Structure 1
């Protein structure tokens, strides 16, 4: 009997072990592994693969030609096959502190790293992410500081004739302080939505850390959906799981700018805001920078702080809207009212660089005061996170 019980126990142990291995995929492959010297090792178990590569923003860029011009694209590195069909690549140099994204390419097919559950979506592209800490990148991490609250909230837009969703960050202590707070409206780029600045821009982490360090004033951050035909981000609307894309109607033809007062009115009614020009800022990346430029000049008494991050400047020639008429006159009115900060940032290899050079020349010729930051790289989230940290630190002082 004792022998039988021992055999049953061994069988049960073996069965349990097999079940756990089946559940968790057997012996785990560690990837990415951040080494002590900040080199990073990527691994993928693919015993039948012929060629495995990793692509990501940690690699040297390569030039890509598009209808919008030539810009920096992601580089590639080859993994080498080792024991048990595990392919491996280690960066030859330590990586600088930053939030990085990457994917694998197996025999020409792009896949996610099955060993890394941390991913983000940029329009229709999904990538894995990891952080190398230190320096500015520590702002992108969740640290032991007071944390704000992030809400997804629906509002009515009479101008667009629909209910729409926005993402709102309120600083730590908002719920109990009874105070009124300034508001920073932060806008996404083409193809993005109200989730983009949270997932890719690390907005809540950046704001928590800047406020805790005394480098930014406590403020409300409102992240809207800049696609005026959408209720909300893909998958979060009555349309169901539609595929995200960049070719949406009502993006840069005046609808969003025309309807923006609906957003401000709702925020001032719903939250404890400082509901005046001195208590409002607006900024955005790419299309969001374009929106910020035109909204702020269309409503010159609404925003005291304006940020253009890798911004588009002027609409296509075939676009007709009252929003874009009398551009120079509206800009004159805006600057005659002396905004506290007009901030422009762009990367040296950004495809919108020349448009920003020409816009700055126009501002210079008029003697309009602005702050300018030029960084390396192109039209990338690495730059936009930098711009957010720099711009937010200058608000409402």
Structure 2
């Protein structure tokens, strides 16, 4: 595997952005395992961070590079600040960046990456779980499979919980008036109920049973199941922490249709 730290300019955001990229690489080792390289049509996973993270957090908190070393899978880990993967009310269009511009940047810099929906995936933790599911629901033509680990999936139903985390000014800077989130393009439950199910990717939702966001994951799974989505749900002991997330990113990787 090759690990690259990329600084690229985003025309959408009008600033430099950072991303870590893991790419398959052919290796011949005296000790260890030889790996056959993949140089064309490489499957790609966009792996998103949570509120307290950035582009480097998956590398620092998990063994993601080791986990994908023999999968023939590229992993794109962008930094998106505290944006909630949204075109914010303060004028920073992070949704447009992550959904539309980032794939173009990655294909320009790494032309070996696939352009096929069947080999393109998204996953994320916490805020990133919200972002990944949002990608699957709003750009279903681009993704075959999407996973949320401990995702903040029901923000429109839980505005009181939001205010326990950050101030009202912060949330309204992202989404606008809190009472207007429900039924908007940022409301995942609304998107679940309005997307044509036959267009949707497969979903994997998981959360620790001691996580305060556990109910958000079970509620979202119930809504998806009722609407006829192909959704897999798994839970297990754990809270909102990297001990659980390191274990369950491995479950997600096993689940991906590679």
Q: TM-score, normalising length from structure 2?
A: 0.78
1:300 aligned to 129, 135, 140, which one? 140
2:4 aligned to 140, 147, 151, which one? 151
Task: Structure 2 unaligned segments of length 5 or more: list them.
Answer: 28-35, 88-92, 160-171
Query: Is structure 2 residue 243 aligned with structure 1 residue 379?
Result: no
The corresponding residue for 2:78 is: 224
What CA distance in whole angstroms lies between the structure 2 residues aligned with 1:162 and 1:334? 36
Shift in alpha-carbon separation, 1:304–1:349, aligned structure 2, 3 A: same
What CA distance in whole angstroms lies between the structure 2 residues aligned with 1:259 and 1:156? 11
The corresponding residue for 2:24 is: 171
Q: Secondary structure at the match of 1:264?
A: helix
Q: Which string of whole-angstrom CA distances, capped at 9 and with x for unpartnered residues, describes residues 229-284 of structure 1? A: xxxxxxxxxxxxxxxxxxx5x34643422221111111112211111211210000
What CA distance in whole angstroms lies between the structure 1 residues aligned with 2:129 and 2:14? 24
1:187 aligned to 24, 48, 68, which one? 48
- Structure with the bigger RCO (C-alpha within 8 Å, sep 6+) is 2
2:225 aligned to 364, 376, 381, which one? 364
1:177: how far off? 5.0
The corresponding residue for 1:34 is: none
1:352 aligned to 174, 191, 213, which one? 213
1:345: how far off? 0.8
1:228-377 to structure 2, matched below 5 A, reads 248=82, 250-251=83-84, 253-254=86-87, 255-260=93-98, 261-271=100-110, 272-315=112-155, 318=172, 319-320=175-176, 323-324=185-186, 328-329=190-191, 332-333=194-195, 335-339=197-201, 341-377=202-238
Shift in alpha-carbon separation, 1:273–1:375, aligned structure 2, 3 A: same
Structure of higher CA gyration radius: 1
1:115-126 to structure 2, matched below 5 A, reads none
1:357: how far off? 1.8
1:158: how far off? 1.5
The corresponding residue for 2:254 is: 393
What CA distance in whole angstroms lies between the structure 2 residues aligned with 1:184 and 1:385? 16
Q: Specify which structure has the higher proportion of strand.
A: 1
RMSD: 2.3
1:365: how far off? 1.8
Q: Which string of whole-angstrom CA distances, capped at 9 and with x for unpartnered residues, describes residues 160-214 of structure 1? A: 1112110000123299653220110111111200110001022112222xx2xxx
1:330: how far off? 5.8
Shift in alpha-carbon separation, 1:205–1:334, aligned structure 2, 3 A: farther
Shift in alpha-carbon separation, 1:177–1:221, aligned structure 2, 3 A: closer
Q: Specify which structure has the higher proportion of helix.
A: 2
What CA distance in whole angstroms lies between the structure 2 residues aligned with 1:329 and 1:323? 7
Contact 1:187 1:283 in 2 (8 A): yes
1:71-86 to structure 2, matched below 5 A, reads none
